[in-house]
Amino acid sequence: MKNRNAITLVLFVLFVSTQSAVAQWHTDNNPLDSLPASKLMMQMREKPVFNWTMRGAELFFNDYIPVVGDSARFEAGPITTLVSHNALEGLRFRLGGATTVRLNRQLFAEGYLAYGLDDEKLKGDLLLEYAFEKKKKYRREYPLHYLRAEYKYDVNPIGQLYVDRSYDNVFSLLKRKSDRLLTYTQTAELSYFQEYSNGWSYGIAARHQTEWATEYVPFNEIQSDGSIVPLDHYRTSEIEFKLRWARNEKFRFSRRRRYSLMNATVIELTNTVALKNVLGSDYQYNSTELSVHKRLELSAFGFVNIHGRAGQIWGDVPYPLLFMPRTSLAYALAGSEAFALLDPMEFMSDRFVSWNVQYHLNGLLFNRLPLFNQLKWHEVAALQIWHGDLSDKNNPQAVIPTQAIVIPAQAGTTTTNALFLFPEKTYRMGSTPYMELSFGIEHIFKFLRVDYVRRLTFRNHPGTPNDGVRMSTVFSF
């Protein structure tokens, strides 16, 4: 308990320490009103204590350390992933980095190496990207037009969502329960993507993936004769097509990421085709997913962000390839689409629809209250809904015989589109959707958001919380 309190204190200090970096980032991205702030910043930097504190906060916020000066051709990082811990790897160490535009404005490289003391396995990721247009400051400058090759071998937190930060980020260390639902995944991918100034973009990717079972996530395949064979791994070969439309979308940039301000209507259609027996692939299926985002401006009453998703799998697939609600076990959420109180793989579906509705009041209530009107805090309320269905062809309980024979464990791969037994505490959703309601305060220190979250349905699942408090970062100025 003392260790957890110490970690909580450290995380809070880190959050507060980034205020100066956030203010500087705001200044850099708003040149029209930056002159007075820049003069003040120059005067403050002359003080050694402030200067070193500022540099440390900037490095933490950017998450990368320039090697030899601010104009370095290589940056080491992310610094928030140097040390982490999980049930599969134990204590995990990671070192990585990326090239900058100072080295080459069109060719970029990024990667890392990681090692776990418990599993004694070396993992890593190597990404090479060629930009067809020269970049001025950042690799992710708009519009994107690139050809990318990536090879990755690492642990895979099935069903969990980490958008802005990786799974092994320091903010993900504090979790409401131990996370054991991890596998090993090896992925080789070649992709092409292009954005246009009129809002249209498209991409195509060829991907080969091998996923290995672990003691926490077994792959128990159901055979046609009723026997159950524990598999060591399975393989898939996929081709993915993506079409996106987002007219007048605006972004903010950091050194390694770009953040959509979600000011535009965004429509994204993705279709994935898996080919059996291609490079050893074990499955053939087709998966389609549609995503729509819309912002409703309410003038003095704030605005509402509405994000809807729907998907369908056309074929028979084992449970790791089914749709799952995007969850996060961490108290510090990464991404507003993550369900805070769902466990990974609590629900699985081969077709689904989900809604995320967030109402940002922009201080409509707090601005009228003494003291609160000085803090500049904003109110926010959100409702998240997931409704999915699982057809019998993808339901192992519908195909497994009453008396199943378990064959001793063996290493091998599946030869048919056979299903796997579901892990424990996995449920099939009926007519009732899963819903989470939250009320929160955002704009704390200009970037921090704190929410109280309550589960509205399926409140009787053992081992799952019915309410809780979560934090997230929302960069609004």
Convert the pLDDT of each residue in 416-469 to its tens digit: 468 999 988 898 898 999 999 999 999 888 778 999 999 999 999 998 999 999
Residue holding tokens 């056309």? 314
56-70, 245-259, 272-286 — most confident range: 272-286
Helix (H, G, I), strand (E, B), or coil: what is residue 31?
Answer: helix
Pair 100, 72: CB distance under 8 Å: yes
Question: Phi and psi dihedrals of 422, rounded to 5?
Answer: -65, 150
> Checking DSSP bridges between strand 227-231 and strand 405-406, what pairing results, if any?
parallel
Q: What is the pTM of this model?
A: 0.83
CB-based contacts of 379, cutoff 8 Å, min separation 6:
360, 361, 363, 364, 365, 366, 439, 440, 441, 442
CA distances from 338 to 84, 286, 358, 360, 403 (A): 21, 25, 13, 18, 38
Task: At 383, list the tokens.
Answer: 């409702």
Helix (H, G, I), strand (E, B), or coil: what is residue 461?
Answer: coil
pLDDT at residue 11 tops 70: no
Burial of 197 (0-12, 13-18, 19+ CB in 10 A): exposed
- Report percent pLDDT > 90 for the chain: 57
pLDDT, tens digit, 9 for 90 and up, residues 58-89: 666 678 888 876 678 999 989 889 999 999 99
Q: Residue 4 has what pLDDT?
A: 46
Residues 254-260 have a mean pLDDT of: 74
pLDDT, tens digit, 9 for 90 and up, residues 331-357: 887 666 789 999 999 999 999 999 999
CA distances from 350 to 176, 284, 344, 375 (A): 28, 14, 16, 46
More confident of the two residues 57 and 78: 78
Q: Residue 3 has what pLDDT?
A: 46
Read off the pLDDT band of 7 (50, 70, 90).
very low
Residues 381-410 have a mean pLDDT of: 74
pLDDT at residue 330 tops 50: yes
Domain ranges of the chain: 1-62, 63-473
pLDDT at residue 386 tops 70: yes
CATH code, residues 63-473: 2.40.160.50
Average pLDDT of the chain, as a whole number: 84
Q: Residue 18 has what pLDDT?
A: 43
